[in-house]
Homo-oligomer: A and B are copies of this chain.
């Protein structure tokens, strides 16, 4: 669509992308707002999009809105969107071809003039870019009427105008008439070859549409230069002692990546780059904006004519732009609030299908950069927005697409997120879904530890475990697994309580950063072997899995694993409001206290011995809920909780 064409011409200053818009698709929301791409196209740095709105008047079985509104309204609408329309209308082929050629020449001349003026003056302003409105009959030059019903110039021409020529002699006659109307005897020689005069009209080499390198953008792609990330790493002297915004260092890294790839890296977000705490990018590059600039914008709006960050409150337009940018050989990074990733679910599906089809059916397509989506402002921190913003289900959807092209990452801290980005941004022909909240969270790993963690996919966190006594004969009593920032913190807090309250209990702590490590290697390249899985998760001990998303996803990924029947998964179950973080966790039972209860309920022989502990957990739930209701924030010892397995205090 238009947004893809826009992405294709970003940083391609000599390119003109013609985007043909059908009047059916023009009714969709994503297309209706994508006319506003002209607010983001800079005539100096970027190429131009030449939209051709093709009004053939009909969809499958209906007239189209834009073809039936009064012509003055249509022109007003397109001018309102900021385009200068050239109209080509008619039904007689020869004059129409001439009119279209003239319109194309006029449009391209206008584009080249705009471009030349902007580049000569060095002043980038938003011009009135030209566009073409082509009004021609649907099913043009096909059969006019079939069985006494109008076909040409009507919705009946959709798909197959003659449904039954095999059985119906009248339809066969119409088919023959129709095909003969193109005068094949003049087009082909006696052996069926296109006559040389016509053949000579075809463009050659890369000027053929299918061989234009921009249409096989991997050919033009250069390796992404990713600067060393050490500078941006959070200092972590010991696990679980300091807090930091998990996404902030990623913003620094993205800025540095833009600086290192100034014409082939862009970041896309729906008005949320600062909200998702990626604002460090602005030290390198601003948000592109071609509309009016006001004096007050200098006071922090971070707008510029040549910015590499693209913000518009349309996830559809942004993802379309990113896809166009990737498909022409560049790199992009989209970020959005978690609950609203569903807005672009259908676009993700189609891009994943495209990638998979290319791998299997179009080996001549050169690999393209990854489709990156950072999902932030996640379910577990909705202190302000509440229930409407709680939906971690996009990763369920992602898991339906082929494992060859989909990756899902759940880094628990800032350095893990950096390490994920370092690895993921280099992988070609994939969709990377990275889930990471923007708030201040506890930090666990140094960058070097995080790199190892990401390489493994699932980490056994020995510093949090107490089951490593050197004896191979001893399995842990319980495995505490976790994935995601808040679930990891709650798991660790539960481990701390358990180690204090029941010191003899041998606990193993696992953290999952690559979600698909949980599944078989035959299902996903991230999948770990059954041997590794059995060794980490044991074959017979209870596993209390604290998960970022909907709990069923973990069952779906692990149901074939030997120890699956001992998996007990906690996750989001649609119980939320504008809660404090701990209250929200407790509502969905992913909190420390419920996890301790889960362990007591599931470790053989603990039940009765630990009844007093369980009672204290129930009391803690009640008192913390009361505190949240009374004060609107969690108690100080919850807000400032730090990892300290030896100390007392919950």
Residue on B nearest A403 in the bound complex, by CB? B574
Tally of this chain's copies: 2
Min CB distance, A310 to chain B, in Å?
A: 11
Cβ-based interface call for A12 (8 A): no
Q: Give the complex CA separation of A27 and B312 in angstroms.
A: 7
Q: Give the complex CA separation of A552 and B516 in angstroms.
A: 14
Query: Given A349-B339, A387-B353, A550-B400, is A80 in contact with B82 using a C-beta cutoff of 8 Å?
Result: no
Do B29 and A271 touch across chains, with their CB atoms under 8 A apart?
no
Cβ-based interface call for A397 (8 A): yes
Report which residue of A289, A291, A340 has the largest number of chain B beta carbons within 10 angstroms of its beta carbon. A291
Q: Which residues on the B side are within 8 Å of A356 (C-beta)?
A: 574
Do B296 and A402 touch across chains, with their CB atoms under 8 A apart?
no
Q: Which residues on the B side are within 8 Å of A339 (C-beta)?
A: 346, 349
Query: Given A29-B34, A345-B342, is A74 in contact with B68 using a C-beta cutoff of 8 Å?
Result: no
Residue on B nearest A405 in the bound complex, by CB? B574
Q: Which residues on the B side are within 8 Å of A63 (C-beta)?
A: 289, 291, 294, 297, 301, 303
Other-chain contact of A275, B60, B76, B271 (Cβ < 8 Å): B60
Q: Give the complex CA separation of A357 and B578 in angstroms.
A: 13
Residue on B nearest A69 in the bound complex, by CB? B291
Residue on B nearest A82 in the bound complex, by CB? B73
Contact flags A141-159 to B (C-beta < 8 A → 1, else 0): 0000000011001111001
Q: Which residues on the B side are within 8 Å of A30 (C-beta)?
A: 29
Considering only residues 57-87 of chain A, those with a C-beta below 8 Å from chain B are: 59-65, 68-70, 73-82
Do A61 and B274 touch across chains, with their CB atoms under 8 A apart?
yes
Do A313 and B80 touch across chains, with their CB atoms under 8 A apart?
no
Do B291 and A62 touch across chains, with their CB atoms under 8 A apart?
no
Q: Which residues on the B side are within 8 Å of A311 (C-beta)?
A: 61-62
Do B313 and A59 touch across chains, with their CB atoms under 8 A apart?
yes
Cβ-based interface call for A299 (8 A): yes
Cβ-based interface call for A559 (8 A): yes
Considering only residues 346-384 of chain A, those with a C-beta below 8 Å from chain B are: 346, 349-350, 353, 356-357, 384
Cβ-based interface call for A343 (8 A): yes
Residue on B nearest A392 in the bound complex, by CB? B400
Q: Which residues on the B side are within 8 Å of A317 (C-beta)?
A: 29
Do A313 and B555 touch across chains, with their CB atoms under 8 A apart?
no
Cβ-based interface call for A89 (8 A): no
Other-chain contact of A150, B296, B350, B387, B400 (Cβ < 8 Å): B296
Do B396 and A60 touch across chains, with their CB atoms under 8 A apart?
no
Q: Which residues on the B side are within 8 Å of A396 (C-beta)?
A: 396-397, 400
Cβ-based interface call for A645 (8 A): no
Q: Give the complex CA separation of A402 and B387 in angstroms.
A: 13
Do A61 and B275 touch across chains, with their CB atoms under 8 A apart?
yes
Min CB distance, A325 to chain B, in Å?
A: 19
Query: Given A36-B65, A271-B62, A556-B552, is A25 in contact with B313 using a C-beta cutoff of 8 Å?
Result: yes
Min CB distance, A351 to chain B, in Å?
A: 11
Q: Give the complex CA separation of A150 and B69 in angstroms.
A: 43
Q: Which residues on the B side are within 8 Å of A289 (C-beta)?
A: 62-63
Do B29 and A28 touch across chains, with their CB atoms under 8 A apart?
yes
Cβ-based interface call for A388 (8 A): yes
Cβ-based interface call for A292 (8 A): yes
Interface residues on A, range: 35 or more
Query: Given A61-B271, A271-B59, A343-B346, is A300 in contact with B574 using a C-beta cutoff of 8 Å?
Result: no
Residue on B nearest A73 in the bound complex, by CB? B80
Do B353 and A574 touch across chains, with their CB atoms under 8 A apart?
yes
Q: Give the complex CA separation of A156 and B39 in angstroms.
A: 22
Residue on B nearest A275 in the bound complex, by CB? B60
Do B301 and A155 touch across chains, with their CB atoms under 8 A apart?
yes
Do A156 and B300 touch across chains, with their CB atoms under 8 A apart?
yes
Contact flags A395-435 to B (C-beta < 8 A → 1, else 0): 01101111000000000000000000000000000000000
Contact flags A282-312 to B (C-beta < 8 A → 1, else 0): 0000010101101011011111000000011
Cβ-based interface call for A393 (8 A): yes
Cβ-based interface call for A624 (8 A): no
Cβ-based interface call for A565 (8 A): yes
Min CB distance, A336 to chain B, in Å?
A: 11
Q: Which residues on the B side are within 8 Å of A387 (C-beta)?
A: 353, 357
Do A287 and B62 touch across chains, with their CB atoms under 8 A apart?
yes
Min CB distance, A290 to chain B, in Å?
A: 10
Cβ-based interface call for A273 (8 A): yes
Residue on B nearest A126 in the bound complex, by CB? B69
Cβ-based interface call for A329 (8 A): no
Q: Which residues on the B side are within 8 Å of A33 (C-beta)?
A: 27-29, 31-33
Q: Give the complex CA separation of A402 and B345 in angstroms.
A: 20
Q: Which residues on the B side are within 8 Å of A345 (C-beta)?
A: 342-343, 345-346, 397
Q: Which residues on the B side are within 8 Å of A357 (C-beta)?
A: 387
Cβ-based interface call for A489 (8 A): no
Other-chain contact of A559, B271, B340, B400, B555 (Cβ < 8 Å): B555
Q: Give the complex CA separation of A27 and B311 in angstroms.
A: 11
Min CB distance, A584 to chain B, in Å?
A: 15
Cβ-based interface call for A24 (8 A): yes
Do B314 and A29 touch across chains, with their CB atoms under 8 A apart?
yes
Residue contacts A-B, CB under 8 angstroms, 24 given: A24-B271, A27-B313, A28-B33, A28-B315, A28-B316, A61-B275, A61-B311, A62-B271, A63-B301, A64-B313, A69-B82, A73-B82, A74-B80, A78-B80, A155-B301, A342-B346, A343-B346, A345-B345, A345-B397, A353-B387, A397-B397, A400-B550, A552-B556, A559-B559
10 nearest interchain CB pairs? A77-B80, A29-B29, A32-B33, A76-B80, A27-B313, A32-B32, A29-B30, A342-B346, A68-B291, A552-B556
- 19 further interface pairs, Cβ-Cβ under 8 Å (given A27-B314, A60-B275, A63-B303): A60-B272, A61-B271, A62-B301, A69-B82, A73-B79, A75-B80, A76-B77, A76-B79, A76-B80, A149-B299, A149-B300, A159-B384, A342-B345, A342-B397, A345-B345, A345-B397, A350-B388, A400-B574, A565-B565
